[in-house]
Amino acid sequence: KQEVTQIPAALSVPEGENLVLNCSFTDSAIYNLQWFRQDPGKGLTSLLLIQSSQREQTSGRLNASLDKSSGRSTLYIAASQPGDSATYLCAVFDTGGFKTIFGAGTRLFVKA
Amino acid sequence: DGGITQSPKYLFRKEGQNVTLSCEQNLNHDAMYWYRQDPGQGLRLIYYSQIVNDFQKGDIAEGYSVSREKKESFPLTVTSAQKNPTAFYLCASRRQGSTEAFFGQGTRLTVV
């Protein structure tokens, strides 16, 4: 059964710092991996989608990498800002059940 | 504007009552999903539907029911059999042939 783990569970950094969020999954048979942002009490906003055949995707200050063989993904945020404060969720689209499986998220706080 | 609309945003339920959460999408997506989110946990799949008039149980379907009479709509009923229904509920959809999921803004259900 596919399991997705995110480390750390929470992270507090000063503004301007570069940071890395980690995501690991137990079964490499995935179609894609998606990173989401969730603000308190809100739905999920898709940040980056990496297909299983890709190694990385970039959008602005965000860069996500995927190493399917080792079951790992990282989300790199450059020059963090207070507006980046949110929970970041990683999810894989599993080939076994054809559904999306989520990690518990990393709660990020960027201090001004 | 295309998107997924969940209503209501907040819902209060008395013990023993059934309540129905609405999810409507105008993205012409074939697949729709219901997830439950509890504090500190990832999203857990309740039910999903890949086509009209067909749906499957997810990982935590007990105490919930759904219908899919129209492509645009996938309502979730939380029945009195669900012993701990207080949670944040998220609806998602996906276009056929794509593995990217799009989410609504969620409904927070509280038992009073």
Q: Residues B24, B25, B31, B37: what is their CA dihedral angle, to the nearest 10 degrees?
A: -60
Candidates B1, B9, B18; CA nearest to B106 is B9
Mean pLDDT of the region A75-89: 97
Task: Check B106 against A99: CB less than 8 A apart.
Answer: no
Determine which of B29, B33, B34, B43 to mutate to test the interface with A (most A C-beta atoms within 10 Å). Answer: B43
Measured CA to CA, the distance from residue A37 to residue A43 in angstroms comes to 9
Phi, psi of B45 (to 5 degrees): -80, 130
**Residue whose token pair is 């945020």:** A77
Q: Does B110 touch chain A (CB under 8 A)?
A: no
Instruction: Report whether pLDDT(A65) > 90.
Output: yes
Spatial neighbors of A96 by CB under 8 A, at least 6 apart, are: A2, A27, A29
Instruction: Report whether pLDDT(A63) > 90.
Output: yes
Q: Does B74 touch chain A (CB under 8 A)?
A: no
Instruction: Report whether pLDDT(A94) > 90.
Output: no
Residue B66: pLDDT band (50, 70, 90) is very high
8 A C-beta contact, residue B30 and residue B96 = yes
Spatial neighbors of A70 by CB under 8 A, at least 6 apart, are: none
The pLDDT assigned to A96 comes to: 66
Instruction: Report whether pLDDT(A87) > 90.
Output: yes
**How confident is the model over B5-43, as pLDDT tens digits?**
999 999 998 888 999 999 999 999 999 999 999 987 889
The pLDDT assigned to B107 comes to: 96
Measured CA to CA, the distance from residue A15 to residue A28 in angstroms comes to 35
* Beta-sheet pairing, A10-14 with A106-111: parallel
Which whole-number Å values give the CA distances from A77 to A17, A38, A66, in the listed order?
Answer: 9, 15, 15
Task: Check A89 against B43: CB less than 8 A apart.
Answer: yes
Determine which of A39, A42, A52, A88 to mutate to test the interface with B (most B C-beta atoms within 10 Å). Answer: A42
Mean pLDDT of the region A66-72: 95
Chain B segment 6-65 residues within 8 A of A by beta carbon are 6, 33, 35, 40-45, 48, 50, 58
Candidates B24, B101, B27; CA nearest to A47 is B101
Task: Check A9 against B40: CB less than 8 A apart.
Answer: yes
